[in-house]
């Protein structure tokens, strides 16, 4: 057919080609990991553009992370050139932010609304819970937040909840009231939380059909990656967008939106929908994702074409066999026949550390070894189940001088100083946001304590003005002269920043406005000076972080010459788990298993493969919990192209205490001949009497069936000299509060207390460096001095 897209089809296998070329209302591509789903989506978009079957503006592609969106945009750009501009390739959240910004005025918000991340919403809920003394009824802020989130993901708002709840139960009634409080507080602050972004867009479309129709007319091709992880609200959104256009005759123009209409349009039928997914990789049931979205696709979209992809192009056969074996233990799934022709490859490497430090040391040593053999650091990833596990890894990687980066928002944007800077910006961008103002009103310390804050808040409420406006009436607040000066100063600083960042109507702010305004806020508010004057070394790091943040704002200006402070805040709020602003190529990537979805690396380390961690113990009581954990492990395994490492630690500081670990059941589900154990759990058990159990008969907590994990060929001697030098047996060391010790890594310190008994004796040590550590006396590299 003319061949404008021949090269797009080259190198694709027959079902992949079909997925790229099929034209019809609905297409479902279901396939296992690494079978080219994302690649097919990308080529499908390119094919639509090349054949001029769609304008870029008619395409809406949904990816799971902003990073994935960026990669897809770049890839499509490579395939079709400049014409790729104008497409919406984004996450559900980013797409909804764009829609809401344009339409916010329709339903009682203004387009400068703030987005609350989960930390912000937790802080708000905490205050509401406290106000209603709800903890007395067993309602914790975390519990309330989680439940509200799940309800929003099911499109249940506070009013709907109140109608269906059993309000004669006092705790239910209280929760219902808190839900309402929370909704009102968000509305007052002109703010949306993450779940709102989706739900409110759905409500908007349902309440204003003309608005919905405008978007239905615009987006003629909707494509969704990682469809297995969509929740009810996201599903409803897709449904809304793909409905036939009913009010097509009515003209509707919105926020300057252009509606392109190629020659054959406008058809009134719904947009064509393509979704790709793998039910074995569904890992967000806890956030309301529903695998039935896949199984019921054919019912909801009758006549849908289904394409299966079975060839895996990512991993070696050994890795794939391990993945298939593990996921085969889940019931209630359609068996898949995933294969590869890339050969068996190397065996999976297993390692059991004495401690998490020993495990981390193994990871670092191995990374160095494969790096020397020619593998780039950027092709190596280390996964863990919980964020808390990263610290031990980081410590060792830093010492080993292995460059690494942490993928995930927690590292940079969770820092208090960055949150403060964001609150300053928010106070300028959205004066109604009282939460932001409360956060910074006394940072740096200005003597504006809780009492004064309540005074200001009440003054604002009485006068019907915002908190920020109230700051401009310091003289009427009834506070002392010193406080008046402080409040007036803060008000002035915010005003000056507003002048820089928020241009008057018709005026265009210079691209550097955000960065300049930010510098002004941090400078004139005294925030930076307070940090600089402090003698705390951490404060020095905070100044550096803020410098980096100003650099982020400048970078933003370069990429978005028209971007406002509101756009900047939205972008920062949306930096999702898999996104990392300092894109350090040439570093090893550390991340949680959840973040790893969709990515691939030559070498992958999955650490902490232990019961209670992977599967995580919170999953034990949940129906379907262990199966979901197995899928998470499957996601991790299938990220590896050539090398896979599975490791665990015999003891781990977890949930505030040091405990013995049990190897994960998932390890037993992998055929033994696929794994080459450098040091198996059983090796440590056998060595236990001399180096671990101290003759007390302790078996380190391993279950009796552990030896099944031990490959027949393993011999103890082979590992005798692999035992890290740092592991000792201090079983007999007498230690008491007041003693001084020396630690191999941390230097000298004083014992504050000793708790526990026998092999679990723990020394609480304050080192002279200021660090406080809990050490397992038996194996820590310490000596008494």
Interface residues with ligand ATP (CB under 6 A) are 11-13, 16, 31, 33-39, 278, 281, 313-314, 598, 600, 638
Cα Rg of the chain (Å, integer)? 29
Any binding-site annotation on 31?
Answer: yes
Task: Give the residue from 712, 648, 643 showing the smallest Cα distance to 318.
Answer: 643
Minimum gap (Å) between residue 319 Cβ and ligand ATP: 12
- Please say whether the beta carbons of 66 and 94 come within 8 A: yes
Minimum gap (Å) between residue 576 Cβ and ligand ATP: 16
Any binding-site annotation on 95?
Answer: no
C-alpha–C-alpha distance, residues 75 and 65, integer Å: 15
Burial class of residue 676 (count of CB atoms within 10 Å of its CB; 0-12, 13-18, 19+): middle
Task: Select from 38, 65, 230, 379 the one that contacts Mg ion (CB under 5 A).
Answer: 38
Minimum gap (Å) between residue 219 Cβ and ligand ATP: 22
Catalytic residue among 16, 17, 38, 579: 38
Count residues binding Mg ion (CB under 5 A): 3
**Residue 34 binds what, of ligand ATP, Mg ion, none (CB under 5 to 8 Å, by partner type)?**
ligand ATP
Any binding-site annotation on 37?
Answer: yes
C-alpha to C-alpha distances, 12 to 37, 77, 414, 628, 641, nearest whole angstrom: 11, 19, 42, 31, 19
Q: Which residues contact 348 (CB under 8 A, 6 or more apart)?
A: 318, 319, 322, 644, 645, 646, 670, 674, 675, 676
Of the pair 76, 565, the CB lying nearest ligand ATP is at 76
Any binding-site annotation on 34?
Answer: yes
Minimum gap (Å) between residue 18 Cβ and ligand ATP: 13
Q: Would you state the structure tokens that stand for residue 288, as one six-digit string?
A: 């309301």
Of the pair 11, 86, the CB lying nearest ligand ATP is at 11
Q: Which residues contact 109 (CB under 8 A, 6 or more apart)?
A: 100, 187, 190, 192
**Residue 203 binds what, of Mg ion, ligand ATP, none (CB under 5 to 8 Å, by partner type)?**
none
160-180: buried (b, 16+ CB within 10 Å) or exposed (e) per residue?
ebbeeeeeeeeebebbbbbbb
C-alpha–C-alpha distance, residues 397 and 393, integer Å: 6
**Residue 543 binds what, of Mg ion, ligand ATP, none (CB under 5 to 8 Å, by partner type)?**
none
Of the pair 30, 402, the CB lying nearest ligand ATP is at 30
Minimum gap (Å) between residue 26 Cβ and ligand ATP: 19
Strand partners, 221: 59, 272
C-alpha–C-alpha distance, residues 110 and 106, integer Å: 9
Minimum gap (Å) between residue 12 Cβ and ligand ATP: 5
- Please say whether the beta carbons of 315 and 339 come within 8 A: no
Of the pair 38, 156, the CB lying nearest ligand ATP is at 38
Q: What residues numbered 664-723 form the site for Mg ion, per CB under 5 A?
A: none
Minimum gap (Å) between residue 666 Cβ and Mg ion: 22
Residue 225: active-site member: yes
- Indicate if the alpha-carbon torsion angle 66, 68, 72, 74 is positive or negative: positive
Catalytic residue among 17, 37, 101, 642: 37
Task: Give the residue from 785, 738, 780 showing the smallest Cα distance to 760.
Answer: 780
Task: Give the residue from 500, 490, 496 showing the smallest Cα distance to 467.
Answer: 490
Q: Which residue has the tokens 């898999």?
A: 578
Catalytic residue among 213, 226, 229, 579: 226
Minimum gap (Å) between residue 75 Cβ and Mg ion: 12
Residue 332: active-site member: no
- Establish if 598 lies at the interface with Mg ion (CB under 5 A): yes
Catalytic residue among 103, 181, 195, 225: 225
For ligand ATP, which residue has the nearest CB?
A: 36
Of the pair 466, 638, the CB lying nearest Mg ion is at 638
Strand partners, 528: none
Q: In what order do the strands lie in the sheet with 740-743?
A: 772-776, 762-767, 747-755, 740-743, 782-784
Residue 595: active-site member: no
Of the pair 297, 412, the CB lying nearest ligand ATP is at 297
Q: Would you state the structure tokens that stand for residue 390, as one six-digit string?
A: 């990263």
Of the pair 11, 447, the CB lying nearest ligand ATP is at 11
Q: Which residue has the tokens 């939460």?
A: 435
Of the pair 350, 598, the CB lying nearest Mg ion is at 598
Of the pair 31, 151, the CB lying nearest ligand ATP is at 31
Any binding-site annotation on 416?
Answer: no
**Residue 112 binds what, of Mg ion, ligand ATP, none (CB under 5 to 8 Å, by partner type)?**
none
CA dihedral 553, 556, 560, 561 (to 10 degrees): 40
**Residue 12 binds what, of Mg ion, ligand ATP, none (CB under 5 to 8 Å, by partner type)?**
ligand ATP
Q: Would you state the structure tokens that stand for residue 228, as one six-digit string?
A: 């297995």
Question: What contacts 24+ positions apart, CB below 8 Å, involve 482-491?
Answer: 482/447, 483/446, 483/447, 483/448, 483/452, 486/446, 486/447, 486/448, 487/446, 487/448, 487/456, 489/446, 490/441, 490/446, 490/525
- Please say whether the beta carbons of 647 and 611 come within 8 A: no
Q: Which residue has the tokens 């919105």?
A: 254
- Establish if 277 lies at the interface with Mg ion (CB under 5 A): no
Burial class of residue 6 (count of CB atoms within 10 Å of its CB; 0-12, 13-18, 19+): exposed
- Please say whether the beta carbons of 772 and 765 come within 8 A: yes
Any binding-site annotation on 32?
Answer: yes
- Please say whether the beta carbons of 338 and 635 come within 8 A: no
Of the pair 315, 466, the CB lying nearest ligand ATP is at 315
Return the range that interacts with Mg ion (CB under 5 A); candidates 233-241, 283-291, 593-601, 656-664. Answer: 593-601
Residue 6: active-site member: no
Minimum gap (Å) between residue 75 Cβ and ligand ATP: 9
In 616-675, which ranges are continuous DSSP H helix? 625-637, 665-668
Return the range that interacts with Mg ion (CB under 5 A); candidates 38-46, 54-62, 311-319, 571-579. Answer: 38-46
- Please say whether the beta carbons of 720 and 757 come within 8 A: no
Minimum gap (Å) between residue 299 Cβ and ligand ATP: 24
C-alpha to C-alpha distances, 419 to 391, 416, 439, 575, nearest whole angstrom: 21, 5, 9, 14
Catalytic residue among 16, 230, 281, 361: 281
Catalytic residue among 67, 217, 630, 639: 639
Binding residue numbers: 31-38
Active site residues: 37-38, 225-226, 281, 639
Positions in the binding site for Mg ion (CB under 5 A)? 37-38, 598
Binding residues for ATP: 31-38
């Amino acid at each position: 057919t003319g061949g404008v897209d021949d090269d797009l089809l080259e190198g694709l296998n027959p079902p992949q080609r079909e997925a790229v070329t099929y034209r019809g209302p609905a297409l479902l591509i279901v396939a296992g990991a690494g079978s080219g789903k994302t690649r097919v989506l990308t080529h499908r978009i390119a094919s639509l553009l090349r054949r001029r079957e769609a304008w870029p503006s008619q395409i809406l592609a949904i990816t799971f992370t902003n990073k994935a969106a960026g990669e897809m945009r770049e890839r499509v750009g490579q395939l079709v050139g400049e014409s790729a501009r104008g497409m919406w390739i984004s996450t559900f959240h980013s797409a909804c932010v764009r829609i809401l910004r344009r339409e916010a005025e329709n339903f009682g918000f203004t387009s400068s609304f703030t987005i609350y991340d989960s930390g912000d919403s937790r802080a708000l809920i905490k205050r509401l819970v406290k106000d209603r003394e709800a903890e007395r009824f067993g309602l914790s802020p975390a519990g309330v937040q989680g439940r509200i989130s799940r309800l929003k993901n099911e499109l249940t708002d506070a009013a709907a909840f109140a109608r269906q709840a059993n309000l004669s139960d006092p705790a239910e009634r209280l929760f219902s009231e808190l839900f309402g409080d929370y909704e009102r507080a968000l509305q007052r602050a002109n703010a949306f939380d993450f779940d709102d972004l989706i739900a409110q867009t759905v409500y908007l479309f349902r309440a204003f059909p003309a608005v919905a129709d405008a978007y239905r007319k615009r987006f003629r091709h909707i494509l969704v990656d990682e469809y297995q992880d969509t929740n009810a609200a996201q599903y409803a959104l897709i449904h809304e967008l793909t409905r036939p256009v009913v009010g097509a005759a009515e003209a509707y123009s919105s926020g300057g939106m252009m509606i392109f209409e190629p020659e054959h349009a406008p058809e009134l039928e719904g947009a064509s929908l393509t979704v790709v997914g793998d039910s074995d990789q569904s890992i967000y049931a806890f956030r309301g994702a529903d695998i039935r979205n896949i199984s019921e696709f054919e019912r909801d979209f009758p006549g849908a074409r289904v394409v299966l992809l079975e060839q895996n192009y990512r991993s070696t056969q050994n890795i794939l066999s391990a993945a298939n074996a593990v996921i085969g233990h889940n019931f209630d799934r359609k068996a898949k026949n995933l294969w590869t022709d890339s050969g068996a490859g190397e065996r999976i490497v297993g390692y059991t550390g004495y401690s998490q430090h020993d495990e981390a040391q193994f990871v670092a040593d191995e990374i160095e070894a494969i790096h020397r053999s020619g593998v780039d650091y950027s092709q190596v990833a280390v996964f863990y189940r919980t964020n808390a596990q990263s610290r031990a890894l980081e410590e060792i990687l830093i010492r080993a001088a292995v460059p690494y980066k942490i993928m995930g928002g927690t590292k940079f944007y969770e820092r208090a100083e960055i949150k403060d800077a964001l609150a300053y910006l928010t106070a300028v961008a959205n004066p109604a946001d009282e939460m932001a103002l409360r956060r910074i009103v006394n940072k740096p310390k200005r003597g504006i304590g809780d009492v004064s804050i309540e005074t200001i808040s009440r003054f604002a409420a009485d006068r019907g003005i915002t908190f920020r406006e109230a700051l401009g009436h310091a003289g009427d607040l009834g506070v002392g002269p010193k406080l008046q000066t402080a409040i007036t100063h803060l008000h002035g600083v915010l005003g000056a920043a507003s002048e820089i960042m928020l241009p008057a109507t018709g005026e265009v702010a210079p691209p550097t406005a955000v960065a300049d305004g930010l510098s002004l806020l941090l400078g004139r508010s005294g925030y930076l000076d307070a940090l600089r004057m402090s003698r705390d070394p951490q404060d020095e790091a905070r100044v550096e972080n803020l410098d980096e943040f100003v650099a982020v704002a400048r970078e933003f200006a370069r990429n978005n010459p028209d971007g406002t402070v509101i756009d900047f805040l939205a972008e920062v709020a949306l930096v999702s788990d898999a996104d990392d602003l300092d894109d350090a190529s040439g570093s090893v990537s550390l991340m949680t298993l959840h973040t790893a979805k969709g990515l691939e690396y030559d070498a992958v380390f999955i650490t902490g493969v232990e019961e209670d961690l992977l599967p995580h113990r919170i999953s034990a009581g949940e129906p379907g919990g262990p199966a979901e954990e197995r899928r998470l492990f499957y996601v991790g395994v299938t990220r590896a192209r050539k090398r896979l490492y599975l490791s665990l630690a015999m003891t781990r500081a977890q949930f505030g205490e040091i405990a013995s670990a049990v190897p994960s059941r998932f390890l037993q589900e992998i055929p033994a001949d696929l794994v080459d154990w450098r040091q198996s759990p059983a090796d440590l058990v056998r060595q236990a009497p001399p180096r671990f159990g101290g003759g007390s008969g302790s078996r380190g907590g391993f279950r009796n069936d552990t030896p099944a994990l031990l490959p027949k060929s393993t011999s103890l001697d082979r590992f005798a000299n692999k035992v890290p030098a740092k592991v000792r047996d201090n079983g007999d060391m007498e230690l008491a509060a007041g003693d001084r010790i020396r630690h191999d890594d941390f230097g000298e310190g004083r014992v504050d207390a000793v708790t526990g008994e026998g092999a679990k004796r723990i020394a609480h040590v304050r080192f002279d460096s200021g660090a406080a550590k809990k050490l397992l006396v038996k194996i820590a590299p310490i000596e008494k001095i």
